[in-house]
């Protein structure tokens, strides 16, 4: 177990596993959000199920722990790479957008983290957290909050910039994670790049559909 926590390969492995865990959460969260396009009642029911219940709170704590682990190990590896002046990096086929994303993963991660703070403040803080502390201002209907926030063009613009950073982060992160856990031969290299871009694009389009839809409704009403 020493190598897992004290070697570069071990740290990359931990960061990859935590990253895959976070991607699975994004897929779940995206699917949940998309229900709002078809039924406000269904979305509000899901929000109620994921309110101040023990399983929802436990899931939130596990997710937060995964995020913290991912960020800590990303920081450690970034500092190691800076110290080594680029040594021990993933092999890249050519100088493309992928390489740009690889070199700026930490910066992209910080942008994503800042966007996440804004997102948590506007949604989690006003819903689950407010319910946990029994605040009289707790939002009961999540659909109303979503529609209100995404009728603001400024918030939508910030949200879409955040999603753009997330897309670049995911396109490199997905395939590099699979490389770390063993899919690193020449056959899988191009396949993983394609899969990573497909997964990242699916996630971003799914998340972007909500603000774009409600902003469009607002502007055309």
The pLDDT score that the predictor gives to residue 157 is 93
Q: Contact 33/119 with Cβ under 8 angstroms?
A: no
141: left (phi over 0), alpha (psi -120 to 50) or beta: beta
Fold observed for domain 2-220: 3 helical TM bundles of succinate and fumarate reductases (1.20.1300)
pLDDT 10s digits, 10-21: 777 777 787 778
DSSP SS3 for 150: coil
CA dist 139 and 50 (Å) reads 13
- Give pTM, 2 decimals: 0.78
71-75, 97-101, 107-111: least confidently modelled range: 97-101
The pLDDT score that the predictor gives to residue 127 is 85
The pLDDT score that the predictor gives to residue 202 is 92
Q: Give the pLDDT mean for 166-171.
A: 86
Which parts of the chain are beta strand (E)? none
pLDDT 10s digits, 29-73: 899 899 999 999 999 888 888 777 777 788 888 888 888 888 887
Q: Contact 21/66 with Cβ under 8 angstroms?
A: yes
Domain ranges of the chain: 2-220
Is the pLDDT score of 91 beyond 70? no
pLDDT band at 94 (very low <50, low <70, confident <90, very high): very low
pLDDT 10s digits, 121-152: 888 888 888 888 888 888 878 888 999 899 89
Matching residue, tokens 């209907």: 141
């Amino acid at each position: 177990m020493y190598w897992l926590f004290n070697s570069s390969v071990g740290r990359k492995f931990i960061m990859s596993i935590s990253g895959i865990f976070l991607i699975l959460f994004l897929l779940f969260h995206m699917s949940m959000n998309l229900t709002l396009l078809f039924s406000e009642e269904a979305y509000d029911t899901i929000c109620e199920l994921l309110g101040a219940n023990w399983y929802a709170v436990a899931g939130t704590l596990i997710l937060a722990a995964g995020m913290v682990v991912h960020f800590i190990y990303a920081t450690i590896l970034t500092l190691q790479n800076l110290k080594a002046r680029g040594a021990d990096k993933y092999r890249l086929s050519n100088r493309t957008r992928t390489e740009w994303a690889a070199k700026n993963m930490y910066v992209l991660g910080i942008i994503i983290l800042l966007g996440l703070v804004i997102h948590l403040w506007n949604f989690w803080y006003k819903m689950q957290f407010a319910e946990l502390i029994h605040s009289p201002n707790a939002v009961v209907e999540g659909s109303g909050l979503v529609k209100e926030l995404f009728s603001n063009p400024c918030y939508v613009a910030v949200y879409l910039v955040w999603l753009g950073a997330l897309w670049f982060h995911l396109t490199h992160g997905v395939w590099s994670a699979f490389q770390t856990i063993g899919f690193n031969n020449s056959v899988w290299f191009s396949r993983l790049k394609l899969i990573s871009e497909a997964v990242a694009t699916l996630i971003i389009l799914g998340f972007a559909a909500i603000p774009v839809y409600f902003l469009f409704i607002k502007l055309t009403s």
